Chain A
């Protein structure tokens, strides 16, 4: 393991004693034969390099170009997401909710940090933070404004509080001007934030290929 890099984050102070505490705990558990350090490496590698929001973006792009797939995705998200090759831990029970011109969905977990790992990876700090968890349900419009998204009064906002083992993925609206783009090009446009519901997907300025 490399030396700790204590990044500067005003919202997440990382005292070196946590580095020491975690190291001591790991060495104790390895010595007791409770933990295989190579398994820890594999777990970390999975979420740092293999499982992340690119997975969800592929699901969204597929739904945009293939109406039959979209229907399956909205009807049985587990099976449809499996078709693209994703599933498992913290995505065992998926539901996909679709945005429209007059409907906007946003996902939160007010009680902890539930998040659809197989399609979005591990959640960002803001999603797990008290400000987002406390306000997403009482003031979704204010929260969205903080993310730079102003929604008209006549747009219905649905907030999904992930209180059970059901995990929600937002299917954002396909932006205008992307009609000629391929599934792969579309996937590149889809951000993590759009799939949580705190952003929209926008077309590239030039249109067509980037």
Chain B
């Protein structure tokens, strides 16, 4: 979706505020918000792409106003409601509905270290032929899907070169909507800064973007 989250190349966002000796979390609620997201993700009801999309669909004015972990809490509530883990009424009241069944947590304390250590690889060991090879010139497709996509707006229609083939990965644009993993090759594509931003950009500079086969066409 052409949302405000897709902000590469935008102006007017203000100066970068670098905080010295920044704490990992700025308040206890941020830490709990982070951990709740991870613990609820362990139920496997949604995937990382759906979880990103849940934040992208926060209305633009709210998205820009909210702090980072407020977006995490907001997205989490939407996912939990959508997937039937809680009802809006329960969230509003903070109490389980009368007669609601009691579950057993998907992630227990003793499993945290192992779960984090393994992670959740999104590479897929399936034989899918690459559509492009290293060194080949490609064009990022000029597409504007209304749903989730990892093809940023600033690259669409631009010419690049395949710099590296990362291998076969889940395709977020379908996976976020539970339309299948559609495994395909992901490439690091080199776009000259001047191709993206015009003549004022550095002559030697470049932006490398990770893109999937479905984002690219032959140049």
Contact = CB atoms under 8 A, between A and B. Distances in A.
The judgment on whether A and B are partners is: yes
Given A1-B32, A157-B205, A161-B210, A28 B95 contact: yes
A158 B211 CA distance: 16
Nearest to B114: A88
Interface string B37-50: 01110010000100
A132 B9 CA distance: 10
B35 to A, nearest CB: 4
A122 B94 contact: no
B119 A87 contact: yes
Given A2-B28, A48-B24, A141-B202, A36 B68 contact: no
Contacts of A26: 32, 36
A35 B186 contact: no
A14 B67 contact: yes
A19 interface: yes
Nearest to A137: B8
Interface stretch (A38-46, A59-67, A175-183, A201-209): A38-46
B116 A5 contact: no
Contact of A124 (B22, B122, B164): B22
Q: How large is the interface on A (under 10, 10 to 19, 20 to 34, 35 or more residues)?
A: 35 or more
Interface of B: 5-11, 13-19, 22, 24-36, 38-40, 43, 48, 52, 55, 64, 67-70, 73, 76-77, 85-86, 90-91, 94-96, 100, 102-109, 111-113, 115-123, 150-152, 154, 164, 166, 169-170, 172, 186, 188, 193, 196-197, 201-202, 204-212
Interface of A: 1-2, 4-7, 9-14, 18-19, 21-29, 31-36, 38-44, 46-48, 51-52, 87-93, 95, 108, 110-113, 121-122, 124-126, 128-138, 140-141, 143, 146-147, 153-166
